[in-house]
Amino acid sequence: MNAASHPDTSPGNLVEALRRRAERNPDGVLYTYLRNGEEAAESLTSGALDRAARARAVLLRNAGLAGGNVLLAHPHDLEFVRAFAGCLYAGVAGGPVKFPRSNHDLRRLLPVARAAGTTTVLTTRAGHQELLERFPDAAELRDLQWIETDAVDESAAGDWTPTEVSGSDLALLQFTSGSTGQPKGVMVSHDNFARQSSEMNDALAIGSDGVLVSWAPFFHDLGLVFSVVNPLWLGTPVYLMAPESFIRRPRRLLEAISRFRGTHCGGPNFSYDLCVRSAADEVDQLDLSSWRVAINGAETVRDATLRAFAETFKSAGFDPRVATPVYGMAETTLIVTAKPLGEEPRTLWVSASSLANDRIVPVAPESPDATPVVSCGVPQPGTRVRIVDPVRALPCDDGEIGEIWVQGPCITGGYWNLPDVTEETFGARIAGQEAEGAFLRTGDLGFRYDGELFVAGRLKDVIILQGHNHYPQDIEYVAESCHPSLASGATAAFPVERDGEERLAVVVEVAGGVAKEVGAEALAQRVRDAIWEDCQVTAAEVVIVRRGALAKTTSGKIQRRECRRRLESGEFERATLAALSTAPGRPAPGSTPAAATALPGALLKPLVRTLLSRIVGVAPAEIADDRSFSHYGLNSIGAEQLAAALEPVVGRPVPVMQVLNHATVDQLTAALGASGGAQ
C-alpha cells in the first residue's frame, strides 16, 4: 500500500519521499516515456531518479542557485522530471514554463523570469541548441543564463549533501498566463503537494495498483501534480506522452490506456471532444475496462461531451461512472472538488435566462429554455467551499449564485513577491464569520445544490481556452496595437459559447472616419491576425462597432460581462460596422489521405487546401491561398492536426512550427517544397 495512506509513516516532504522510495525499492519504475505517444522509449526508476536528482542538485548549488528560483523550460520528456527533482534536492524553487517554439512563447520568458526574481533558465542540451538556431538574435537567449541539466556529470551525485527541508518550504512556482500583463507565481509548498497527492489517492482511489496515463503539459498544474508529483509521492507508475502526440492523434491516449491497463487519466473537456471526433471504426479494438477515473477539469465540463464520450466508447468497455468532473486551480495546488466515485456525473438542468441573471431555476430537460450545468462534485477531505456574495462578503444560500471561496490544506502560500495581491486574493473573510479564518477568492461563480458544487461562470475576466488561461487585457492590448488608428481602452475580449465550446470574442470600437479610411472588414481581419500571431489564439468572432457602443464604467473602464451580454442579445447589431466569425473546426475521422511518397508540388497546394478545409470546417473553394489560416479559425490544436495530416502526404515529419510560421496555403506549400516536402 502507498505510504501516503498512512499519515504516521508519511515522509515530511518530497525529497524525503523520493529518498525513502529509492532506498526501499530502487528498481521500481515510476515514469515511462512513450515516444510519439506509442513506443515505450525510456523509463525512470526510483533509484535512477534519486541519483539524477542528486547530480543536478550539485550542479545548481555550484551555480550559486540554492535557496533561489529558476525557470524550467524543458521539452516534454523525462529530463524535466530529473531537473524538477534536482531543484527539490537543491532547495531551489522551479517555475515550469512552456518550451519556446514560437516568438510568442519566447517573449513570455523575460516577464516570467522577472516575476520569479531570476535570470536562470534550465533546459536540455538539444533544446538549448534548437533555440539558438531558431532564435539566434533573441534577447531572451542573450540576457538569461541557460543551464543544460542533462549535460551534468552523473557521478556528481556522490557529492550531494542533504539539507533540512520543511514541509512549509517552497517547492514550486506555478506561473499563471500573461504576456503583456504581470505574470503571477503561485507559491506551492512541499506540504501542499503532499496533501494534494494524499487526498487524490484517497478520493480518486488510486491505490497500490493504480496506473496513470498522461499527456498534460508539465507547465500546467494538472500535468505537474497528476503525472510528476503523484508518482514521486505515491509510487504510482505513470506513462507519459508529449501533448503534441495526443493532439495529432488522440487515439494514442486511448491505446496507451488499453495497452498498459491505465486506471487514471485526465484532461480538459476539449481533450474528450478530440477523442470523440477522431474515433474511427476501430473502437472495438480498444479495451478501456481498466479505466477507473477519467478526470475532466481545467475548463467548463460539458454535459454533451460526457454523454458523447460514454456512448462512443461504450463498446470498448468505458463505464460512464468513470467520468469524473473536478474543480480546482493552481492556487489550490490542483483539485478542490471531485465527483464521488461509483456515481455517474450529475447534470442539473436550469433556466438559461435565469442563469444569465445569476439565478438558479431548475427546469425539465425538454424545456425550451433549459441549459445543462454539470456538477463538479464534493470538496476534498479537509477542504471547505463556501459560496459568497462577492460585493458584501455575505454567505449565499444553497441555489444562490455567488463567488466560490475555498479554505483548506491545499491552498497555496499566495503569489511570489506580490503581498498586496496575495492579501486581496488569499485573505478574504466572510462578513460576520471572521473567526472562520481566511479564504481564497477564486474569482469563479458557482452555487451549491444538494451538497454538490456547480460552476456557473467567472467573476474574474480570465478566458479559459482548451484548458489554458488567457487574460483579456493581453488580447485587448494586442488588438489595439495592430493599427495606429485604434485607441487604447476601446476593445473588449471575453469568452462566448459556440457549439458547446468556449471560444474567444473580441469587440473593437472605432470612430466612423477610421472605419471608412481603413475599411471595417480589413480592420477586423487585421485584429484577428494580430491576436493569432501574438497570442496563438484564434478569435471566433471579431466585431467592429461604432464609437460609444462598448459598455464602460463612468471612469472609462471596459465592462466585459456587459459587452458579452450585448453581443449575445444582439444589442451591438445597430452599431456593427463589420463582423467576422468562424465555426470551430471538426476534423473528419480518417480524413488524412495516405501517401507512401511525397507528392509533386503541383498537387501539394490543393491538398493543403483540402486538409485545411476538413480541419476548420470550411469548403475548399472558400479558402483563399493568400489569406491567413487564422481567418478560417485555425487554432494551435488545429495547427498540430494539419501538421500531422500533412506528414503522410509529404513523406516526412512536419513540425507544427512550419504551419504556424507559414500561415497561408501559398506560404505553407512553398515551405514544404523548399524543405523537401514536394518533389
- Contact between residue 344 and residue 323 where contact means Cβ atoms under 8 Å apart: yes
23-28+47-208+225-236 is classed CATH 3.40.50.12780? yes
The set of residues, in sequence order, having a beta carbon less than 8 Å from that of 441 and lying 6+ positions away, is 390, 403, 405, 424, 425, 426, 428
174 closest CA partner among 238, 235, 289, 94: 94
Of residues 84 and 673, the one with the higher pLDDT is 84
From first CA to last CA, the distance across the chain in angstroms is 59
Query: CATH 1.10.1200.10 region(s) of the chain?
Result: 601-674
User: Is the model's pLDDT at 83 over the cut of 70?
Assistant: yes
pLDDT band at 322 (very low <50, low <70, confident <90, very high): very high
Query: CATH 2.30.38.10 region(s) of the chain?
Result: 346-458
Q: How far apart are CA 149 and CA 153, in angstroms?
A: 10
User: Is the model's pLDDT at 378 over the cut of 70?
Assistant: yes
User: Is the model's pLDDT at 526 over the cut of 80?
Assistant: yes
* Superfamily of domain covering 346-458: Luciferase; Domain 3 (2.30.38.10)
Q: Mean pLDDT over residues 295-317, rounded?
A: 92
Element of type H or E holding 475: helix 472-481
Q: How far apart are CA 411 and CA 400, in angstroms?
A: 24
471-581 is classed CATH 3.40.50.150? no
Q: How far apart are CA 320 and CA 306, in angstroms?
A: 8
User: Is the model's pLDDT at 664 over the cut of 80?
Assistant: yes
414 closest CA partner among 168, 222, 97: 168
- Contact between residue 509 and residue 490 where contact means Cβ atoms under 8 Å apart: yes
211 closest CA partner among 148, 265, 137: 265
- Helices (DSSP H) in 204-299: which residue ranges? 221-224, 230-234, 243-248, 251-260, 269-277
Of residues 133 and 463, the one with the higher pLDDT is 133
- Contact between residue 496 and residue 509 where contact means Cβ atoms under 8 Å apart: no
Region of 166 (left: φ > 0; alpha: ψ -120 to 50; beta: rest) is beta
User: Is the model's pLDDT at 222 over the cut of 80?
Assistant: yes
28-77 per-position pLDDT tens digit = 999 999 999 999 999 999 999 999 999 999 999 999 999 999 999 999 99
- Helices (DSSP H) in 617-678: which residue ranges? 636-650, 656-661, 665-674
Q: How far apart are CA 88 and CA 57, in angstroms?
A: 8
Q: How far apart are CA 154 and CA 149, in angstroms?
A: 10
All cell numbers assigned to 106:
519566447
User: Is the model's pLDDT at 504 over the cut of 50?
Assistant: yes
Q: How far apart are CA 28 and CA 34, in angstroms?
A: 18
Distance of CA 409 to the CA centre of its chain: 24
Element of type H or E holding 90: helix 78-90
pLDDT given at position 556: 66
4 closest CA partner among 189, 223, 195: 195
Q: How far apart are CA 224 and CA 76, in angstroms?
A: 11
Q: How far apart are CA 89 and CA 49, in angstroms?
A: 11
User: Is the model's pLDDT at 583 over the cut of 80?
Assistant: no
Q: Mean pLDDT over residues 525-553, rounded?
A: 85
* β strands within 48-199, DSSP E: 69-72, 93-96, 120-123, 145-148, 170-175, 185-189
User: Is the model's pLDDT at 8 over the cut of 70?
Assistant: no
Average pLDDT, the chain: 88
421-454 per-position pLDDT tens digit = 999 999 999 999 999 999 999 999 999 999 999 9
All cell numbers assigned to 76:
516534454
User: Is the model's pLDDT at 563 over the cut of 80?
Assistant: yes
Q: How far apart are CA 336 and CA 72, in angstroms?
A: 26
pLDDT given at position 414: 97
pLDDT given at position 596: 35
pLDDT given at position 521: 87
Of residues 503 and 116, the one with the higher pLDDT is 116
pLDDT given at position 672: 85
- In order of 44, 387, 460, 581, the CA distances from 561 in angstroms are 48, 20, 10, 20
pLDDT given at position 532: 81
Q: Mean pLDDT over residues 123-139, rounded?
A: 93
Query: CATH 3.30.300.30 region(s) of the chain?
Result: 471-581
All cell numbers assigned to 500:
458547446
Beta bridge partners of 93: 69
- Contact between residue 572 and residue 579 where contact means Cβ atoms under 8 Å apart: no
- Contact between residue 630 and residue 663 where contact means Cβ atoms under 8 Å apart: yes
pLDDT band at 587 (very low <50, low <70, confident <90, very high): very low
601-674 is classed CATH 1.10.645.10? no
Element of type H or E holding 472: helix 472-481
* β strands within 344-500, DSSP E: 347-351, 370-374, 378-379, 384-388, 402-407, 440-449, 452-458, 463-465, 468-470, 491-498
Of residues 477 and 275, the one with the higher pLDDT is 275
Q: How far apart are CA 441 and CA 402, in angstroms?
A: 11
pLDDT band at 477 (very low <50, low <70, confident <90, very high): confident
Q: How far apart are CA 269 and CA 294, in angstroms?
A: 11
pLDDT given at position 675: 58
Buried residues in 35-66 as b, exposed as e (16+ CB within 10 A): eebeeeeeebbbbbbbbbbbbbbbbbbeeebe
Q: How far apart are CA 213 and CA 261, in angstroms?
A: 9
User: Is the model's pLDDT at 679 over the cut of 60?
Assistant: no
pTM score of the predicted model: 0.81
Q: Mean pLDDT over residues 566-579, rounded?
A: 89
C-alpha R_g of the chain: 25
Q: What one-character-per-residue DSSP string does 486-505 give? A: SPTT-EEEEEEEETTEEEEE
pLDDT given at position 620: 81
338-371 per-position pLDDT tens digit = 999 999 999 999 998 888 777 899 999 999 888 8
pLDDT band at 589 (very low <50, low <70, confident <90, very high): very low
- Contact between residue 13 and residue 169 where contact means Cβ atoms under 8 Å apart: yes
* β strands within 18-119, DSSP E: 29-35, 39-45, 69-72, 93-96
pLDDT band at 591 (very low <50, low <70, confident <90, very high): very low
Report the share of the chain in percent with pLDDT over 90. Answer: 56
- In order of 268, 318, 346, the CA distances from 321 in angstroms are 17, 9, 10
- Contact between residue 56 and residue 83 where contact means Cβ atoms under 8 Å apart: yes
User: Is the model's pLDDT at 412 over the cut of 90?
Assistant: yes
Helix, strand, coil percent content, the chain, rounded in steps of 5? 40, 25, 35
Q: SS3 of 666, please?
A: helix
- Residues 313, 465, 520, 103, Cα dihedral to 10°: -120
User: Is the model's pLDDT at 15 over the cut of 50?
Assistant: yes
Query: CATH 3.40.50.12780 region(s) of the chain?
Result: 23-28+47-208+225-236
- Contact between residue 515 and residue 485 where contact means Cβ atoms under 8 Å apart: no
137-184 per-position pLDDT tens digit = 898 899 999 999 999 999 999 999 998 999 999 999 999 754 445 789
Q: How far apart are CA 101 and CA 217, in angstroms?
A: 14
User: Is the model's pLDDT at 298 over the cut of 70?
Assistant: yes
User: Is the model's pLDDT at 98 over the cut of 50?
Assistant: yes
User: Is the model's pLDDT at 619 over the cut of 50?
Assistant: yes
CB 162: neighbour CB atoms within 10 A?
11
- In order of 529, 604, 637, the CA distances from 623 in angstroms are 16, 15, 19
125 closest CA partner among 174, 171, 73: 73
CB 137: neighbour CB atoms within 10 A?
6
DSSP state of 558: B
pLDDT given at position 146: 97
pLDDT given at position 618: 79
Tell me the torsion sign for CA atoms 449, 450, 454, 459: positive
User: Is the model's pLDDT at 250 over the cut of 60?
Assistant: yes
